[in-house]
Structure 1
Amino acid sequence: MSHADLLPADVPVQLIDPDGRVTASADALPSPEALLRAHEALVIGRRINDQAYALVRQGRLAVYPSSHGQEACEVAATLVLEQQDWLFPTYRDTVSIVSRGVDPVEVLVLLKGDWHSGYDPVATKVAPQATPLATQLLHAVGVAHAATLRGEDTVVMAMCGDGATSEGDFHEALNFAAVFKAPVVFFVQNNEFAISVPLARQSVAPSLAHKGVGYGVRGQRVDGNDVAALLSVLGAAVEAARSGEGPQLVEAHTYRMQAHTNADDATRYRTDDDVEAWRSRDPLLRSAAYLTAQGLLTDDRVAEMDEKAEQVAAAMRAGLMADVQPDPQELFQHVYAEPTPQLREQAAFLAEELSREDAV
């Protein structure tokens, strides 16, 4: 691979513009079936984001980092993976995990305040959501390298935001992956803000995709609100990693339409006009405009997708509004494979205290 091959394009890849018009060769577009599947995932993803925000207001979730406006990135990241591949998400990637097939209730119990991730990472091939920035990237590289040593056909999709690229773990992960040619796709959702810090205060690189050059990792830029372009670029990156070409770095240019979380006051660092400028680039509207113009998205299909989304939202409400009686003895489970004498002693002490309370 030459040095020039590592450099991303000057302009992010775009196949469909915000008005739903094709901006590249029609042959470059994913199949109609793939685009319809992606659009359905977008509809469900938007409904998940809206429902989760409502559950926060009702006190059923402690916090929710919404990906409203970033759903095209969320769904494309998983739709390009095979069953044996792994997803390493961040705290904002609930929609991506659900698109991978995980029950949204199992995903969201973590944000409700449960002590575990809620789903089985091994069974789902989805790592637990990571709140610390970039720490999951090192774990992703480790899983990819281990799969290579075992001769497994596995690619790892390692997701992060623009803020994570300022962390040391990001650079360590890229370097290790490059040296050992680990089959990892580093997928950066550049949504313009690391909480309240704008991108211009994080990096003066020409783009975040350029950061791969220093490690010998090929970089690519893509319109993060164009689900067709995302499926194409991420799909090619996954295939390159799978075929032995080593790690790939993809930067998607998108925007966080809502606050960092419900606990954040975004008006302190950006204006309503800033947000309004991105409304016309909504990935859901763009996808719908294209599919409708092509005669692929009929009224019946829209109603069917909306109904599926409502069923997901209803299941979320039912599952997350159910009161759970915690078992204090779970404090001592899964700490060690074999409980230590101290843990047994503490568990017995707690059991005795609880029995006294029950007797009162």
Structure 2
Amino acid sequence: MVVLREYKVKDIRRSLDRSLNYTLENKFCKDIISNREKQDISDSSDLPKRKLSSRQLIEVLRHLNIQVHRAVLDDCEKLLEYCFMSEKNQSNNDKGNTFHVGMENLAAKRINDLCPSIQSIIDYVCSTHFPPKILHGEAWTLNKSIIQINMSKYPLYRSVGKDGSRSLFMVLDMDETLVHCSFEMLENGMEPDLLVDIIPFSSPWCVYFRPYLQLFLQYASYLGDLCIFTASTKAYAEKVLKSIDPNGKYIRYKLFREHCTVYKKGYMKDLRIFEGVNMGKTVLIDNSLISSTLQLDNAIPVDSWYGNPNDKELLKLLVLLNKLYCLDDVRPYLARRYGFRQWANYHRAKDSLGPI
């Protein structure tokens, strides 16, 4: 039996909320704002879904230390190029051989080119023989067969406004994607955002929130609906999510370990568990490709986060999601950008395994 006790260590909004009210000192930024909408950027889950405003994009770019020409703000693909280009230009960038939101198409990569820590993940996706029931969405979860969840029955999930059809359905992993949980405090001296007691451990576990988490949740909620799908236990995850989003303003749905499809110790998140969701507008954001095995063309990779205070992955993810909002179907675009399915099936064919 696991017993959890939550401690509030600090106000996670302390710097982020202040940053939302910052004064734009740069003349370039002022000119853009003066020519565009000057709406309040406060949250409301009932607002119509839409692309990020100029002001919101400038806020994201400011944190990324990127300045662009005015016209680029309306060119979502060009914005992505600027964001990912700045990442490549970092002299100490160690992401080259890992999965992350700005990674290049995997088609040019060999398995041996990837870092050892993710080769086991690749081996699972490329070398596992999956039974037909799993491939056809008839698999078993930990406790029961997959129950399709009709999202239309839940009042929090609905299309809002005339542009609701363009809204994204964003399925987010939790651990190492949004937060990091550690038995000990991080060596870099970061103060944990949350302490959670887990019996039989004598000391509480430290939970750290990824940089810009609150900003990400706020702005992503403009682009569509957020669903947390974690392979963690419900008891632990509920405590963390309650601290991240105490009033339920951003996270509209939650799925846990019991909803995962498990095969040979791999925890997959089959998006077919949802009914009434447009798969062409659905993305699965996770630091592990195993989670996306059954819908690789819906996958967005993020770099695993273990406490780096200078991490900006969620900001780059926002720029990508803003681009995806404009598309009728995200799958062809993500297939071209990352090439996960093509790459996996190429290696599976070499082992005489069927495609996924």
Q: TM-score, normalised by structure 2?
A: 0.29
Whichever of the two has the greater Rg, that structure is 1
Higher helix proportion: 1
Q: TM-score, normalised by structure 1?
A: 0.29
